[in-house]
Structure 1
């Protein structure tokens, strides 16, 4: 293991500890201080509340960093397979630390928060990102996939609205639902043709051949698994949003009749 890989794994360990600290200490303290509803929740719901606070913090950090790299990291954008991976490895290390923290959390509270789709997602990401951390390959594509985290805050906010008792037909919930659908589609579904167009454009090139079989398989297989999961989640989100809009539309005529 070279020095850069050691640094990456040190950052990963630091990320794991930091997110565990946010979950165990920071979120419970702040949430108790700021929300009476949090103090009234049973232990299981408090656990999920804290985990979603950490999830949102991770998404905002990593998603913002992704946009910066896409906009300003010329070396990565010029050479998507072998470009200078320094900033991308930092971002990937943060994400891998978060994923390990989250998998430990799922294992501890499986009956409360367990989801096989999330486990498949985390394993696929860790499998592929291991090559990024060890060898510094595929920095552009690794960073591109992390843009999907920008949809996470809206997904979490929907859960918070439910816990706070906000009716699903209310305007704040509907606006968040619309934003969730739009952002999820833009960062996870609409980019699929462009992403695979860039992937296929590298096939047969000297840079692609230098990768070797292991990174090639990890790259293509993990991408396929992640996009199947994204399509399934998109279906769930659309179905939920349709139900919320239908409920809101059906409540309007009832409100008029009572008037």
Structure 2
């Protein structure tokens, strides 16, 4: 890994930490009166989710720019010039390291072995991009899924502030979350896997080596299975709200699922 990428990883780690500990509390207190009335555990998760939203917007929009304008990466998805992709991945790696530290420091309330495994696996996979410069197009394509994260976090913010599920803003965010989640995580699957299959048997694919091939394919399969499960749950919840079936039972269901919510479900990167 070059010094430039290491500097970006370190800089993003420090930047996200400062956003969590300094910027988020001040901005949230200034613009959201209900923030100061939250219990300490929820304050920690609030700040964590705000950082997650900022990271998702930075990385997601950068991904779209690369997808639309980086002709070299799009022309050679396996070995194209990874300069911009490596910078974007380095930002994500800094975020993942920050989030791992946050989990470790708040393990009793936010700790979840699933997310630790997810983050470590993601760091391992992105390590190939940073050290060898391989699969830039596919690494960038996977990160586009982060564009759904702000809507997921906004749902949690509304719940933390005790907005009723029938509130217009909650309903609109829920619909937007369902649509965006589908577009960036489900609808792109055929196009993504068509690009993957097109590389099979090519000299570029053989140059990757078995380790990179296995890490790439298995991680993508696992993530798409998770995304499909999450899409089903999101769609079911959205349907209940739109049809007026999200009353007391939905509230009880949300309370029953609160342990996983406290461990910031979907508050991570693919």
Aligned-residue RMSD, C-alpha: 1.7
CA distance in 1, matches of 2:94, 2:87: 11
CA distance in 2, matches of 1:115, 1:244: 29
Query: Following superposition of structure 1 onto structure 2, how do residues 1-259 of structure 1 map, counting pairs within 5 Å?
Result: 5-247=2-244
Shift of 1:84: 0.5
CA distance in 2, matches of 1:25, 1:135: 35
Shift of 1:117: 4.1
Shift of 1:189: 1.1
Alpha carbons 1:70, 1:77 under 8 Å: kept = yes
Alpha carbons 2:240, 2:246 under 8 Å: kept = no
CA distance in 2, matches of 1:112, 1:101: 17
Aligned residues: 248
Alpha carbons 2:165, 2:246 under 8 Å: kept = no
Alpha carbons 1:169, 1:248 under 8 Å: kept = no
Deviations 1:129-150 (A, max 9, x none): 0000001110000000000000
Q: Which has the higher contact order (CA 8 A, sep 6+)?
A: 2
What is the TM-score with the length of structure 2 in the denominator? 0.87
Shift of 1:178: 0.6
CA distance in 1, matches of 2:119, 2:4: 22
Q: Secondary structure at the match of 1:165?
A: coil
Deviations 1:194-252 (A, max 9, x none): 1111111101100111111121111111111211221222222223223322436879x
Change (3 A) 1:41 1:155: same
Alpha carbons 2:155, 2:173 under 8 Å: kept = yes
Question: 2:264 is matched with which residue?
Answer: none
Shift of 1:107: 2.2
Alpha carbons 1:59, 1:150 under 8 Å: kept = yes
State the structure with more CA Rg: 1
Higher percent of residues as helix: 1
Shift of 1:66: 0.4
Deviations 1:13-54 (A, max 9, x none): 111111011001110111122222111111111101101110
Change (3 A) 1:38 1:80: same
* Structure 2 unaligned spans of 5+: 249-270
